Amino acid sequence: MSKEMLSALEALEQEKGISKDIVIEALEAALVSAYKRHYGQAQNVEVEFEQKKGNIHVYAVKEVTEEVMDSQLEVSLKEALTINPAYELGDTIRFEVTPKDFGRIAAQTAKQVILQRVREAERTIIYNEFSEYENDIMTGIVERQDRRYIYVNLGKIEAVLSRQDQIPNEVYQPHDRIKVYVSKVENTSKGPQVFVSRSHPDLLKRLFEQEIPEVYDGIVEIVSIAREAGDRAKVAVRSIDPNVDPVGTCVGPKGQRVQAIVNELKGENMDIVEWNEDPAIFIANALNPAEVQEVIFSEGERSCTVVVPDYQLSLAIGKRGQNARLAAKLTNYKIDIKSESDMLQQKEEAETEAVVSEEIVNDEVVSAAEVTPVEPDLDNELAEQDER
């Protein structure tokens, strides 16, 4: 058994990268528990594993005392001195108590410890490997599903795709190959847990990096993304090279590049707009395909009023307000959209109100002047009375 155990430990270290010393330390601790459990002993015991020969020894550890109160934990000074004259009160002595049949128990315990360490090592390896894929994209195969999750096989581990991370109305069938975004990797007591998403905005970013070399190389940069998964998304891009058109680069010849991304996301509509450092231009671009006449900003707030032609109002707002909502998310501005006629009427009403207010103020000033009493000239009145 000793040679077999040594061979197993050496193979474990070479093949799995698990340190032999760590396994031996865990094995000794497990054998202490096994000894106490099998032999009903509660005293202090130690287990020693000989790394050269592979032999296992069990020792009872006793303290040297003047008077023995518990023979399992203590040994008298008189008995200790017969073993070695150098012993003193308070010293500890190890007595070998290895049972004859302890080899069988040791073999069973060693097997359990080694298997546990192998599982822990494999979990650590998988966790470390998939931690590197966190916030990245992977391709997996749909395995099965239950009420909570869809389980996606990523090779060494089965990831979970929750309901909120699924694309609405997308149907997942077993053996379907899908691309997923690794949103979180946790190291739990049951092993590594990988959470993936199909609705995360960064899935779109990673798909752009895969399909468009200029985005991957950093020539074209994705500034912001606003997405309603499965329906529509807006992507703001800019180029660090003045000779490269960021929108045209992402769309590709005849729309081939962006179409590959749309196909992967089951027909999700894609608006690619050019980012601009001027907020007014950026907001106008974000409301594409609507035409914008004017952008009026509110003081001290990230909000604005956008004026569009009357016939463009419904297009600017979009179905169920989607176009305006996505543009607001993309630009991080609160956007109020008004038609040209509504804005003109609002201006006329404001001007009329201003004129009326001014007239009211002027009338009040005139009225106040008319009713102001004139103070009598007392000196003149007195002079007239004296003359009489």
- The CA distance from 67 to 78, in Å, is 10
The band of 381, judged by pLDDT with boundaries at 50, 70 and 90, is low
The CA-based angle 74-78-80, given to 5 degrees, is 60
Structure confidence at residue 34 (pLDDT): 79
Instruction: Look at residue 382 and tell me whether its pLDDT is greater than 70.
Output: no
- The set of long-range contacts for 147-155, using a CB threshold of 8 Å and a minimum separation of 24, is 152/178, 152/180, 152/196, 154/130, 154/194, 154/196
Tokens of 93: 């002595």
Helix (H, G, I), strand (E, B) or coil at 39: helix
* Average of per-residue pLDDT across 287-303: 91
pLDDT digits (tens, 9 = 90+) for 314-366: 999 999 999 999 999 999 999 999 999 998 888 777 677 666 666 565 555 55
Structure-model confidence comparison of residues 370 and 45, the more confident one: 45
User: What are the structure tokens assigned to 191, written together?
Assistant: 């092993």
Give the Cα separation of 363 and 367 in Å (integer): 6
Distance between CA 242 and CA 274 in Å, rounded? Answer: 13
Give the rounded percent of residues in the chain with a pLDDT score beyond 70: 87
Residue 203 has pLDDT above 80, yes or no: yes
Least confident of 62-66, 102-106, 325-329, 330-334: 102-106
Lowest mean pLDDT among 47-51, 237-241, 247-251: 47-51
Distance CA 249, CA 213 (A): 9
According to DSSP, the β-strands at 56-65 and 74-76 are: parallel
Q: What's the chain's average pLDDT?
A: 85
pLDDT reported for residue 22: 77
The average pLDDT across 270-295 equals 95
Token pair for 117: 């360490």
Which position has the higher pLDDT, 162 or 1? 162
Whole-number pLDDT of residue 228? 95
More confident position, 97 or 92: 92
- How sure is the predictor about 210, in pLDDT bands with cuts at 50, 70 and 90? very high
Q: Which domains does the chain have, with CATH numbers?
A: 2-120 (3.30.1480.10), 132-197 (2.40.50.140), 204-275 (3.30.300.20), 283-388 (3.30.300.20)
Least confident of 12-16, 89-93, 182-186, 242-246: 12-16
Residue 106: count other Cβ atoms within 10 Å of its Cβ.
25
27 in Cβ contact with 113 (< 8 Å): yes
Query: What does the pLDDT average to over 191-196?
Result: 93
Mean pLDDT of all residues in 236-261: 94
Peptide bond before residue 289 is cis, with ω within 30 degrees of 0: yes
> From CA 265, how far away is CA 169, in angstroms rounded?
11
Q: Which of 29-33, 180-184, 190-194, 269-273 has the lowest mean pLDDT?
A: 29-33
Lowest-confidence region among 72-86, 125-139, 144-158, 301-315 = 72-86
pLDDT over 90 at 384, yes or no: no
How many angstroms separate the CA atoms of 189 and 18, rounded? 19
